[in-house]
Amino acid sequence: MFIPYYTGRVIDILSSSYGHAFTTAIGLMCLTSFGSSLAASCREGIFMFTLSRLNIRIRQLLFSSLVRQDLAFFQQVKPGELTSRLSRDTTMMSRSVPANANIFLCSLVKALGLYGFMLGLSWRLTLLTLLETPLTMAAQSLYDARRQAVLRAIQDSMARSGEVVRESVSSIETVRSFATEEEESRRYRAALAETHRLKNRRDLERDLYLLFCQTLACTYGDLLSNVGAAEKVFEYLDREPAVRTDGTRAPESLQGHVSFRDVSFSYPSRPDRQVLQAVSFELCPGEVTALVGLNGSGKSTCVGLLERFYEPQAGEILLDGAPLREYEHRYLHRQVALVGQEPVLFSGSIRENIAYGLGGCGEEQVTRAARAAQASGFIAELDRGFETDVGEKGGQLSAGQKQRIAIARALIRQPAVLILDEATSALDAESECAIRQSVLSRGPRTVLVIAHRMQTVENADRIVVLEGGAVAEEGTHAELMGREGPYYRLVQRDLAE
């Protein structure tokens, strides 16, 4: 604002006479030009430095918050949306918000200084320039509300299109086997068309609005609009997990006695449907307990509650007489190990997957765990042995090989409680028997087995039968067969199949 003022002074002097005033005006004009450029450069440099650090920090904080959320959160929010928030929204937020704050603050300081300067010259002319301010503010308020709504819709639309891509690529075998390539292309095309429509609406409204606005008002509106990108990021950052992980109990020794006491549970996504109803049973150290029942009877839900993926709405689960929530998070999941039917392996070597989450595992520990899981045989046949890369999600290994690696990953922790949820479904009977003997021979461990094949659970010390989310009966194989109840019918059905 001083540059045009002193330029005017120079012109006034040139129209009259030269002298000391002329030299002073020229000097002040050069000084203010240099000061303005220096200040602008410093401001831009500081904001660029801040932007870079903000981007890294926001991503780190958001990812750290996401991995601590409960399982119900991930069932309600799709992975594609989370990936979009973590990559696109954090970048937009860390770039746009500081950049617009930079311009907004700069424009605000200029406006305040300019109006102060104008008031010093002529308060009447200054008031005349302010006549349009109420109209501008009203238009700005209306535009801001509409623009934020449109931008939120655009961000949600882009997240949905990202989810379509993720689902199609990760399930390409299913897409190919059902010949639905064209349908998936149409889904993606429809998602892109919706995003395109919303962007056209955003640009049209912006162009119409720009017919009336000043720089400060425009910048303020743009700043508020980009806050929409940060809205979801901050929502996830501030979200508290439904399952707390702030327990402190970590005893030196653990027997592994588990008690389900009148446990009732409904999934957060379906609160009106009770999956478990007053379920009670015991898992004793040194024993193998089998949990059987038809699909939907609540077997996997019991596993999820024992792993503290969820909290029961009623009743409680005790480990050595203490509620699970009292145990320290890392301690609990080292003492209670789960092997699922479709275990997830991570990109990296077989050694890294077996020792996943454990620091300082020696060669002997990894080898012993692989041997106990009957995995050392096929590992030795690989060109690079334990250093073989398993590929994304273990794609370079067969289903049976992945299950053996997952069992080794659980055994290396020497857990007090071992959960095998259809963990040997891809293995032949001989390998399954060898692994079972190896697992049972490694101390007084509590073992919970879930299986659909009745032959897998015949030798269990105790069999708990779930039916409709409740315990129908329990006992040994011989006892339950003699009663000819729900377990007997399950065995007969299995034999018939």
pLDDT at 376: 87
pLDDT at 175: 67
Give the pairing of strands 288-292 and 462-467: parallel
Sheet holding 314-319, edge to edge: 276-283, 258-265, 314-319, 322-323
> What is each CA distance from 346 to 139, 329, 390, in whole angstroms?
53, 22, 8
Q: Where in the chain is the domain with CATH 1.20.1560.10?
A: 2-238
Residue whose structure tokens are 């060109």: 383
Residue 296 sits at the vertex; the CA angle it makes with 292 and 299, to the nearest 5 degrees, is 40
Segment (H or E) for 315: strand 314-319
Q: Where in the chain is the domain with CATH 3.40.50.300?
A: 258-496
Give the 3-state secondary structure of residue 339: strand
- Alpha carbon distance, N-terminus to C-terminus of the chain: 88
Taken as a whole, the chain contains a residue count of: 497
Taking only the tens of pLDDT, the chain with its 497 residues reads 677 777 777 777 666 655 676 677 777 878 888 888 888 888 778 877 887 888 888 888 888 888 888 887 877 777 777 887 777 777 777 776 666 777 777 778 888 888 888 888 888 888 887 777 777 777 777 777 788 888 888 888 888 888 788 777 776 766 665 666 777 888 888 888 888 898 888 888 777 776 657 555 555 556 555 666 677 777 878 888 878 888 899 998 889 999 999 999 998 888 888 999 999 999 999 888 999 988 888 888 999 899 888 899 999 999 999 999 999 988 888 899 888 878 888 878 889 888 887 877 788 888 988 888 888 888 898 888 889 888 877 788 888 888 888 888 888 888 899 998 887 666 766 666 777 776 666 567 899 988 777 777 888 889 999 998 999 999 999 999 998 888 888 888 888 87
Residues 6+ apart with CB under 8 A from 352: 346
Give the 3-state secondary structure of residue 472: strand
Distance between CA atoms of residues 434 and 420, nearest Å: 14
Distance between CA atoms of residues 304 and 476, nearest Å: 24
CA dihedral for 173, 344, 418, 437, sign (positive or negative): positive
Helix axes 20-66, 2-14, angle to 10 degrees: 170
pLDDT at 188: 86
Please tell me the CATH superfamily of domain 2-238, with its number. ABC transporter type 1, transmembrane domain (1.20.1560.10)
pLDDT at 214: 52
Residue type, 269: S
* CATH, domain 258-496, list 3.30.420.40, 1.20.58.710, 3.40.50.12280, 3.40.50.300: 3.40.50.300
* φ/ψ (deg, to 5) at 411: -70, -30
Residue 388 region, left (φ>0) first, then alpha (ψ -120 to 50), else beta?
Answer: beta
pLDDT at 443: 63
